[in-house]
Amino acid sequence: MAPAPQEVALKHRIDAIYTDRPYYGVRRITAQLRREGILVNHKAVARYMREMGLAGICPGPNLSKRAHQAEIYPYLLRDVTAERPNHVWAIDITYVRLRGGLGTGSNPGPTLCDGGSPTSAGPGDAGDLE
């Protein structure tokens, strides 16, 4: 049996609110829907979010405590100043939530940053790295 069109529209709106603000939980999404003039029970919102696999992002327990079994690596560049190009290199991988899954910003892979120059090179610029 197919869901009612009102239910589908409500699920789409809940998904749009969650995509815009993934830290919103059931209570905030219900309040946002009510501000938009959609009268809905918080239990219905909770059921729809559970069916769609949505949950508000919140910090877990003990996130500020260091994992004792993890090794701490020394920072090797503490007293080093980047004085010329190709002297210091770093890599940054940033994942962004997209409609089709996770993406990495505008580049399809990691970005290499030269500490001595203001330019950076992504995977498409690999021929320029010499």
Model pLDDT for residues 49-69, shown as the tens digit of each residue: 999 999 999 877 776 666 666
Q: How many residues does the chain have?
A: 130
Query: Within 13 A of 120's CA, how many CA atoms are on the CB side?
Result: 13
| Beta-sheet strands, E only, within the chain | 89-92, 96-98, 101-103, 111-114, 120-121
pTM surpassing 0.75?
no
Residue 86 — very low, low, confident or very high, per pLDDT cuts 50/70/90? confident
Mean pLDDT of the chain: 79
Residue 129 reports pLDDT greater than 50: no
Domain residue spans in the chain?
Answer: 5-52, 76-124
